[in-house]
Structures are given as structure tokens and as C-alpha cells.
Structure 1
Amino acid sequence: MNSEFRFWMPAHIRCGQGAARNMLDEIRGDSVLIISDPFLYQNGTAERIGNALTGKTVTYFSEIEPNPSTTSVDACAALARQAGAQTIIGLGGGSSLDVAKVVSCLTTNEGSIYDYYAGGTKQFAPRTTRLILIPTTAGTGSEVTNVGVFTDPRAGIKMPFVCGEFWADVALIDPEMTYTLPKGQTASTGMDAFCHAIEAYWNRESQPMCDYLAMGAMKTILENIRAAYDKPQNAQARAAMIISALTAGVAFSQTRTTGVHAVSFPLTTEFHANHGTACAITLPAFIRVSTEMAADKMQALAQFLGYADVQALADGIEHLMVGMGMPVRLSQLGVTDADIEHIAAVGMGAAAQMQLTPATMTQETLCRLLRTIL
């Protein structure tokens, strides 16, 4: 265990049933922009939150894709500037929250997201627009990270963007926001949260505080995900899941993710898997190889989670996924053996992230891993 570490979590976390309906005191200025996906706008959730902001001028942007594009970011930023938004509220899953992060910066900074991303010519001035993030899924942890991931349609690739200005002023955690989450999304986002936790735990840059947070998150997820999946209105399970996702988010915000997430990029952009599924589908295989460099630590985790050993943990996770209707073989996403080399190459392209995995990660070893779950 690394006894020398740093821990930085500047976001104010506010958690409670119905908190999203009572946050007027968190708003700064008179102009508010609420960013959500189309579903949350069409079902009235975004407007219910906006209507509760008495005395404020509220504008809505809901053209957010599952893997948000740089095009949507720039369109949303243009609306935020036009509205003179002083507070940005990101409402939804990781896609909406990530867009809200960068738009809160672009509101008072000229140009496009491309001007500020790696290779761009500009840097964000310190953010003055208030940023409030409200997750409606129990999975991404985006509300407590300074990372955004965007799809560049010109190059057909994902753009992970890390920026100190992306930390939210307020992460508002309201379990009620997850009650209408469909079963499939309950499963995939819950498993995404589990991936965040286990990747923070086995990470080569792991540290004690993250380990404790990650272990608690994993145990609580395993104890509650099926209840949330089977009975969506189970308030106790929903609260446990969203708090676990938050805890896992705090854990990986300090360590970053590893190979599971690196490989997910081509599975989302090229095979159109949702993010949680794209991560979870390789998780059992990565658990099995994690013993190469973290055998004792992973054995301790397996026993803490109620499994005899690491292999039993991997099998248990796969069984859980099958029980929730999630794919566990790459072929279920349309992947063929001919695709493996390319998927591995794209995954290896996120080298810094990939090499935080507690196993030897090369093109050859990654291809071998992927073929075990083809």
C-alpha cells in the first residue's frame, strides 16, 4: 500500500431525498442553463427542476447524445453565451454532466472545445460560471471528477479531457432522480460504478483512502444492484446505489481508471455499446489477469466481497451480469476475431491509462485477453 499520496476533492457534495427540488440557495445569478439528455427533457424532469427555481430565467439544452459529440458541446456553449448563463446545471448521466463541465468554461471563454483540448492554442481562464451537477444514474461518478469524455466526429475517436476547471461547485445527489431509470441502464451504470471502484482499488497508483472508498462501494453495489434492478422503486436500494456510485467516483477521481475503460473506447465508438456495458464486458477478464501484479490485494478483496478467491469473484461478476441481461461476450456486440487487433490497438493508444492495470499490458497480451471473452 502506498503510504505517500495526495487527495483533492474540491466539489461540495450535497445528498438527500428530494434535494434536486430544493436547491434554489445553490444558484448564483439570474440566468440558469439546464443541460440534459432528450429523455429527461421530454418526461418533464428538467422542467420540474427549472420550475422550482423561482425568480430565475431558465434556458434548456437537451440535444445530448449517449456519447456526447464536440458538435453538441459547441452548440450548447453558443446557447449558454446567448443566454448569459451564470449557473449551469448538468442533469443526467455522464454525457450530460461532461457537457455541462466544459460548457461552464466555454460560457465565458471564446472559441470551440477544439481550441482548448490537447493540441489547442488556448487555455481556459478561471471559471466564473457556477457549475451544479445532478446525476440521474447510479454509475458514472462524473459529478465528482474533473474529466470529460467527448466524441470527435471528424476523427471518429473519443477525446478524454482532464481540466482543473471541471470540478463542480456542487455535486447534488438525490436518489429520487434514479427511480425512473430503466432496468438496462440500472444494470449498465451500476456495473460502470463497480468498474470505477475496482479500477481505483487495483490501480498501480492506488492509495489507502481510495482503497477504503472503493472497497465500500463495491460491497454495497453487490448487495444492492439486483434489488434496484428487480424493484426500481426500492428507495433503500436506489439510495445505496447512487451513494456507492458517488463513492466510487471520488475514489477513481484520484487514481484514474485502467485497462477496462481504455478498451471501452472503441467498443462505444465503433460497436455502439453504451459506456457501462463497454466497460463491464471486459471486467471479468481483467479481474482474472489482475493477479499477475496484485495477487494478495485482489485475494483480500475477493474474500471481503464474500468470494473464496479471485477466480470466483470473476465468475460471480459474470454470473451477475448474465442475470441482469448484460452481454458477457464480445461477439454479442458484433465483434469478430478480425476486430481484436484493432480494438487492442485503440485501447493501447490510451497508454498512460492502460499501464495502470496490474498486469503486463501489450498489444499481444491484450489481444489474448480479449480473445478469452470473444
Structure 2
Amino acid sequence: MWTLLSSSSDFVGESLIRFGESTGLAGFFSAMGWGNIVMIGIAFFLLYLAIRHKFEPLLLLTIAFGMLLTNLPGANLYHTELFAGGHVHWDIFVAKAGLLDYLYLGVKLGIYPCLIFLGVGAMTDFGPLIANPKSFLLGAAAQIGIFVTFLGAYAIGFSPEQSGSIGIIGGADGPTAIYLTSMLAPELLGPIAVAAYSYMALVPVIQPPIMRLLTNKHERAIRMRTLRPVSKTERILFPIIISVVIALLLPSAMPLVGCLMLGNLMKECGVVDRLSKTVQNELMNIVVIFLGLTVGATATAEAFLNFRTLGILVLGVIAFCLGTAGGVLLAKFMNLFSKEENKINPLIGSAGVSAVPMAARVSQIEGQRENPGNYLLMHAMGPNVAGVVGSAVAAGILLSFLG
């Protein structure tokens, strides 16, 4: 009898010890480093920005929560060793993978960003761009920040692949930045995603001082002629023609551009409304959740807390500022060869970065600050949506050279 009670007592004691060792509290004291504590603090700060100040909340909230999950001890949701060296180690994947490891495959294989572009295309109106094709030039000029920053990052010691991933922050397009980084420099995915979405949220703060610095009162008050109506035929042909042209000239950009144009064709053709609404709503929302969680999961203490991350943040804001300046300066240059009635308000050039529609709204606000009767929103949407295509093309160029 005593032997049985003693055995039961030993069994219960050992079970309690094993249970205690398996809890997060045990992991907190044994495996928790200062880096994990700092990263959890950063996650809380990003959650605060997303919830309290609404800084890109749809993605920043999920990124921050993924960051929190991956830095909590013992959760075993994400394992960096499964993706070491930029490759998926399938030989140990099934044995060690956690939930976020499986979801991260959608990032690693370039699936989530393309699906988001499908939804973006279905929500985008290319009418202002079709009505004023010169907007393509402004959208292209705003990508200068990408390539200048690429050269700058390479000059200070980043590898060519890392430099390309840092430069793409200047396009102010989160899915494009994630797509390119997952292909070229996955070890930088966390810092680059946080930088890209943070700067997108800060468009109303970053852009206005640059716009005012590079323009005078007369230029900011320029009133532009009303855009011509765009026919349904033009709207249907546009995504088809762009897809064919990009496929022939830059096939590496087609995963993003092709999905963008397919989504837009669904919207404009008018015969697949159910599919169009699905990619705009249900599909887009599901992918945003998976993308944010898994990108946040890559923000481990080892990947995030170093001087390299600080360099990425600094170079990212430089890229963004240069992109803004590039669009404004090209608009000013184009005005040198335009008649008075055809002059472009340089403020719309700043919308060439791909922060849709926030950058276009900033152009509108700054224009009305000088001339309350000035309505630039639709004019600014032309360069704005051109910037979406431009950033995807820039990513394709970098991928073709560096991939």
C-alpha cells in the first residue's frame, strides 16, 4: 500500500515538474534574453501606434502581434533555422515547423504579396492615369529614390541583394517591399516591412515639408484643367495592354503587375462582379492577416536589434524623401516646356510614390492651402496609381539584376 502511494506521489511530482518546465514562465526565466524583452516592448509600441494613432493599422497591428508571438519564450511558432541562408530546409521542416512556419511559406514563395496586388488592382481606378498619360512619367520619377538608395546602401557596406531590398522602401509600397525582400534578403524582412509601413503611415508628416521646399507659392496654386472622361473600352484595354508590354519587356515584374492588372480587369469588365468583390474583401482580408503575422514573426531579436536595422530605417526615409522630391522636380521640369494652360501643379508629382490614396490626398491638401478653390485629388491619383505600377517594375528590375 505504502509502495503504491509512494509511486503515485513520485509520478505526480514528476508530472508537476514537467508541467512547470513546459510553461512559458519557465522559459521566461531560462531562455528569455534582454533582446526578447526589447522586442516585446517594440511590439507593444507598434500595437499602440496601430490602435491609438491608426498608423497603417490593417498591417501594422498584425505585424506587431506576430512580433510579439515570435519573441515570447516557448511558443515554438516560428523557427529561423528552417529558413536559414534564404532557403527552406525541407529535410527538417515537418519535424520542427510551427504554425507561423507554415504560414510564412506564403511570404517565402511570393504568394501573399501577389494576392494583395490582386485585391489592390480590383480597388484601383486607373482612369486619371489613362486620361493624363504624362502621369506615368511622374510615377516613374518618384522611383528615383529606390535606385539612389540602392547605390548608397551598397556604398556603405550592404550586399547588392540587401541594398536592393532597402532601396525598394522608397517606393512606399509594402507588399512590393515584402515581395522583393523575401526573394533577395529574407534576413532583413522584419526591419524592412516595419520601415515600409511606418513611412507609408507618415506620408502626411514627411511629404509636406519637401513639397513646400521645392515649390513656390505660384506653383502650388496652379489650377489644372479638368480631366477628360475615360471610356469603358479604354479601361478594359488598359490592364490587358500593360500586362502584355510588361511581360515582353520585364518578365520578372509580372507576378506583381500581372496580379494587379488581373484585379483591375475584373473590376472594369463588369462581368465578374462576384469575383471582384471577393478579391477586394474576403481574399484581401485573409491574406493581410497571414502576411502581417508571418512578417512580424521574422522580427526576432537577432534579426532586428543591431546597427544594420538602424541603417535600414535611416536609408528608408532617405529613399522615401528622394522619391517625393523626384516627382516634384520632374513636374517642374515638364512645366518649362508646357503652355500656361497645360502646366502641371508640381504638388501632384509627390503622389508618384505608391502610398495610395494617402499621397494624393496630401497633394490635394497642400494645393488647397495656397488656393482654396484648387482641386488636385483626381490629377494626383494619376501619378499615385502610376507609382503602384512603377514600384512593381522597379522591383522587377532589381530582381532581374540581383535575383
TM-score, length-scaled by structure 1: 0.24
Name the structure where strand makes up a greater proportion of residues.
1
Rg larger for: 2
Greater RCO, 1 or 2 (C-alpha within 8 Å, sep 6+) = 2
Name the structure where helix makes up a greater proportion of residues.
2
